[in-house]
Structure 1
Amino acid sequence: MEKKIIIIWSGQFVSLLSSSAVNFAVIIWLSLETGSAEVLAYAAIAGLLPQAVIGPFAGVFIDRWDRKRTMIFADGFISLCTIGMVLLFYAGYFELLYIYVLLGLRSVGSAFHMPAMQASVPLLAPESQLLRIAGINQIIQSISNIAGPALGAFAIGLLDISHVLLLDVAGALVAIISLLFIHIPNPVQEVLTKVSIRQVSVDIWIGIKAVTKNKGLSYLFLFSILATFCIMPVAVLFPLLTLQHFGGGKYEMSLIEVVWGIGMLVGGGLLGVFKPGISKVTLINCMHIVLGLSLAISGALPAAGFILFTFLTGIGGVAASIYNASFTTVIQQKIDPTMMGRVFSMFYSIAILPSVIGLLSTGFIADNIGIGRTFLILGSAIVLIGLISFAIPSLMALGREEEKSKAMTIT
């Protein structure tokens, strides 16, 4: 089992590294070319909306299709779209619209790849190792977040955007090759012989009920969605806060991305090495508070406070890493493997759709309220979400169920 996971992680690491480099190169290019919060918001929407719209439908098929083939197909589709975009740029068709289209097509591939990957892990590892594996997965993502921006900044400094995009193609190819060497088991289920709107709707509803039948899990989803709604606009404004508020440039933008990645690396490392003595629900609530505080304080800093902003960004990375790993593990433990693909897809979609509304107003908010105040307001809202979470009995009971399960296992 461990050998399979190592092979998957090796391929995914290269793919994540190349994607991180390309994504950051695109952000630098858009920020320097336009300096517009609206343009960055539209780019974020293009990268999120397709995944949000088709996510629930994709999840139905992920649960019925071979998950290994699904990941290979998704990586291959993203590569073909990227190659098509490179050819357009070579031919002289070079506009912002094409960047948006590329981000949208990548989002379609991610709608299948990400949930299929998450749904495959419980089939390859015992439940007792899920949090540790989630922590190590955060380490891999963190290393990509550290090295990716540096690679992206270096690439965009030497090459034009069309050449930089080819890095993504190379990374996806390595990920596909690594998947060819392993077998991923699929849960026993009925074969999808006929596609119908009614059947897809029924399957989506089954996925929704898998979450809503557990009141504590429903609240966990709700608060995570509310937090995502607040985080998305702030994430888009990070480059502009560095450029406009703190007067930074390419180097400072790269530094902030690297520090965020280091924070995520530390958070994943802590989970990979140590088993927390508190429940994952309590961890999630605490990380909401820590992340919210780091964002709110960052927004209140003066223009000369870049060093402290860098430190707070690292703290936020630690909190985000621990939160992501803990949330993913709770879902993997509480949801039946035959429904996990649609549940992960449903969460991504439900979390992203409200965030798109927030992103649409990002330009207006940044221009009228100010980027710093936006960080302060939305960070404070995330802190409030974390505090309220502790006051919900059914949500905290979800954590106590986990602690009882641990005690029974030890006994």
Structure 2
Amino acid sequence: MWKNRNVWILLLGELIAGLGLWMGIIGNLEFMQAKIPSDFMKSIILAIGIVIGVALGPLAGKLTDQLHKKKVMLAAGLLRTISVLFMLLALATDSIGWMIVFLILIQISAAFYFPALQATLPLVVDEKELLQLNGVYMNVSTLSRILGTALGGALLMIMPLHTLYLFSFAAYLALFLLTMLLKVDDDSVSKVGEHVKEKRDFSTLFPMIKQEPIVSITLIMLLIPLLFIGGFNLIVINISELQDSAAIKGWIYTAEGIAFMLGAFTVKQLTKYISQVQILFVFSLFVGVSQLMLYMATNSLITIIAFTIFGFAIGCFFPVAATIFQTTVPKDFHGRFFSFRNMLERIVFQVVLLTTGFLLDSIGFQLMTVAFGMVSVGLTTLFYIWYRQTRQRVTLNKKKALS
């Protein structure tokens, strides 16, 4: 895998683009903090782009399956690069309107780019290397998040705001140029006529998902870590207030990030001892345990341990989930499937964020973490029973068919 030039191009591209993305996010927050006093209006503005990105999900999935993945990534990368110019225009004119244009374009780009990227990974390595590649890719993404936020914060202290967006522009341009160097054989694109391509609409995806129980179960299992991730920043803020410590925020992000990378590095070794599906259930249970531990979040040590467990759990969970999708879903469905997954995660993320805020106001932090923990443990148990019953039913049907 490490001798594969495509792998290095994708990993280097993710690192560079991630730095640009997170520096841009730091810049967005700084601009809104200066121009928009209402937190509710900030959330509305941020949600506009996300809603449009979700609405374009079916089209993005369909086009990703009809066209070569590299072409989709290049078009999305070019749009993302151009979008930064509108943010520079917003800074020059102090215009919230131009910022909204920037946010819409960046979300449209993401709606097309990430499904195409996920569909490209199985095309550049053998199936046996996919789990390792997914783990390494997510580690690079996590590293770019840590470095990007740190670098963005440092640059704001010594340089004007527009400098962050110039760095973002350079990063996105570099990613576009790197993507041009990819050499990918995309056999999933039909070459037998437009009438075949027309059948590749979003509605054909759901019968396929129903035929693959492990895909359905894994999709639903994604809800459990999202219960934590959706309100992650609100949870960290509340812990900081609970402990009356600003420093604990840094320790939490550091512990979670390092543990995530350790999990993504070690998950391939774990598959030697337990199956990929068992890994999903075990570490889904660990997510619930980490949430329950936060009932004692007044204790700094227990808090750090809880986030370390959580980080390691999702570091194992997400690469396995991605590998199951990439190897079980037929390649000619990859664009639509990963677009659907992207839409699902965005919608769930927003619902969880709103629910977390409501519960924090109504029942308080500690009771909320217990509620989320019990839901996570309960859902993991129910999904495991469902999986066992489904597997037994499939086995019986196969035996009947053979007899």
Distance in structure 1 (CA, Å) of the matches to 2:358 and 2:127: 46
Counterpart for residue 328 of structure 2 = 334
Distance in structure 1 (CA, Å) of the matches to 2:99 and 2:255: 27
Distance in structure 2 (CA, Å) of the matches to 1:101 and 1:311: 41
Counterpart for residue 267 of structure 1 = 263
The counterpart of 2:82, out of the listed 76, 80, 83, is 80
Counterpart for residue 124 of structure 2 = 124
The structure with more radius of gyration: 2
Correspondence 1:236-275 to 2 at 5 A: 236-249=233-246, 252-271=248-267, 275=271
Distance in structure 2 (CA, Å) of the matches to 1:365 and 1:100: 29
Deviation at 1:207, TM superposition (A): 1.7
TM-score, with structure 1 as normaliser: 0.83
Tell me the amino acid that sits aligned with residue 16 of structure 2: V
Correspondence 1:298-309 to 2 at 5 A: 298-302=294-298, 305-309=299-303
Counterpart for residue 405 of structure 1 = none
Whether contact under 8 Å (2:23, 2:165) holds in the other structure is: no
Q: Identity over aligned residues, as a percent? A: 18
> Residues 325-358 of structure 1, C-alpha deviation per residue, up to 9 Å, x if partnerless?
0000001110111111111111221333244334
Structure 1's 321 and 44: CA in aligned 2 closer, same or farther, altered over 3 A? Answer: farther
> Residues 375-409 of structure 1, C-alpha deviation per residue, up to 9 Å, x if partnerless?
332233222222222212358739x99xxxxxxxx
Deviation at 1:275, TM superposition (A): 4.2
Structure 1's 175 and 366: CA in aligned 2 closer, same or farther, altered over 3 A? Answer: same
Structure 1 runs, 4 residues or longer, greater than 4 Å off: 24-44, 97-101, 191-195, 272-275
Distance in structure 2 (CA, Å) of the matches to 1:382 and 1:25: 35
Asked if 1:212 corresponds to 2:214, the answer is no
Look up the SS of the partner of 1:184 in the other structure: coil
Tell me the amino acid that sits aligned with residue 53 of structure 1: A
> Residues 84-138 of structure 1, C-alpha deviation per residue, up to 9 Å, x if partnerless?
1122112222x4x765654443221111111111101111111111111111112
Aligned length in residues = 392
Asked if 1:373 corresponds to 2:367, the answer is yes
Distance in structure 2 (CA, Å) of the matches to 1:163 and 1:374: 40
Asked if 1:322 corresponds to 2:316, the answer is yes
> Residues 135-192 of structure 1, C-alpha deviation per residue, up to 9 Å, x if partnerless?
1112212222332332232233334544323332222112112112221111243359
Counterpart for residue 166 of structure 2 = 166
Q: Pairwise CA RMSD of aligned residues?
A: 3.3
Distance in structure 2 (CA, Å) of the matches to 1:291 and 1:98: 40
Which stretch shows the higher mean deviation, 172-181 or 113-122?
Answer: 172-181
Tell me the amino acid that sits aligned with residue 372 of structure 2: L
Distance in structure 2 (CA, Å) of the matches to 1:35 and 1:227: 34
The counterpart of 2:292, out of the listed 285, 296, 300, is 296
Counterpart for residue 406 of structure 1 = none
Counterpart for residue 107 of structure 2 = 107
TM-score, with structure 2 as normaliser: 0.84
Whether contact under 8 Å (1:46, 1:104) holds in the other structure is: yes
Tell me the amino acid that sits aligned with residue 76 of structure 2: A
Look up the SS of the partner of 1:350 in the other structure: helix
Deviation at 1:285, TM superposition (A): 1.3
Structure 1's 254 and 53: CA in aligned 2 closer, same or farther, altered over 3 A? Answer: farther
Tell me the amino acid that sits aligned with residue 241 of structure 2: Q
Distance in structure 2 (CA, Å) of the matches to 1:159 and 1:306: 35
Distance in structure 2 (CA, Å) of the matches to 1:192 and 1:241: 57
